[in-house]
Structure 1
Amino acid sequence: MSDLKVDGFKASDILVGLGSAFNGFTDTQRQAQVKKTKGIFELRITNADKKEAVWTIDLKNKGVIVKGHASPKADVTLIMSDDTFSQLASGKLDGQKAFLTGKLKTKGNVMLATKLAAVLDIAKGKAKL
């Protein structure tokens, strides 16, 4: 899963961990997660050096994470800083609070964005499959 790694991004390590968790799924678990989430998330994350990296979490078709823009088109695009993503992933920041304070911007299906926390919990081993 090192193909998800982008130097200079804390989010990179989190997404590599999430990708490893996805790779550990059985086909049944993967299909259950896809059925539960039903969406494609495109994460556009900017680091402290103002560089942007993009990852796509496909939990609509394949149940995979890839580096780069969504193809097919994302259902929701989430735009945030590297620090904001790290805080969301660790549970230190609530997604709704991040959105309301302008730390998290969305394009597309905002309601789908609320499912991101449950997806990130998979990396921490907290999610129920």
Structure 2
Amino acid sequence: MSDIKVEGFKSSETLAALATVFEAYSEDQKKAQIKKTNGIFELRVKNAEGKEAIWTIDMKTTGSVYKGGAKSKPNVTILLSDDTFQQLADGKLDGQKAFMTGKLKTKGNMMFATKLDGVLKATKTKAKL
């Protein structure tokens, strides 16, 4: 899924790997993950140059990751830096700690944002991120 990658964003590698994992899921695995998460994350990531890229993790209808804003209203929009996203994906930073220290901001359902950790962890082992 090279259309997910954005030049100059480390996050795009991680999100492309995530998309590959979701695509490899059987229908049952996908349904289970959707049932567990039941929502849409819109990620607005800024890189070191200050450029912004947007990705959506749809765990409500399609069980997929795609570049661009959410096609339907996201449960939460998460604003963070490229480095912060990498630290979250690598398990080096806790989402709540990132929020409390101002490294991560949310618009929408803040409590739903805590489910992103679970999505990243569930797929991390499969993707070997």
Three-state SS of the structure 2 residue aligned to 1:45 is strand
Unaligned runs of 5+ in 1: none
Residue of structure 2 in register with 1:52 after alignment: 52
Alpha-carbon contact 1:14-1:123 (below 8 Å) kept: no
1:11 aligns with 2:14: no
**Off by >6 Å, runs of 4+ in structure 1:** none
Unaligned runs of 5+ in 2: none
Three-state SS of the structure 2 residue aligned to 1:58 is strand
Cα distance, 1:71 vs. partner? 1.1
What is the rounded CA distance, in whole Å, between the counterparts of 2:29 and 2:79 in structure 1? Answer: 28
Residue of structure 2 in register with 1:110 after alignment: 110
Residue of structure 2 in register with 1:96 after alignment: 96
Residue of structure 1 in register with 2:25 after alignment: 25
Cα distance, 1:122 vs. partner? 3.3
Residue of structure 2 in register with 1:81 after alignment: 81
TM superposition score normalised by structure 2 = 0.95
What is the rounded CA distance, in whole Å, between the counterparts of 2:78 and 2:121 in structure 1? Answer: 17
Q: Deviations over 1:68-114 (max 9, x none)?
A: 00010111000000000000000111100000000000000111100
Cα distance, 1:118 vs. partner? 1.1
1:70 aligns with 2:70: yes
Percentage identity across aligned positions?
Answer: 60
RMSD: 1.2
TM superposition score normalised by structure 1 = 0.95
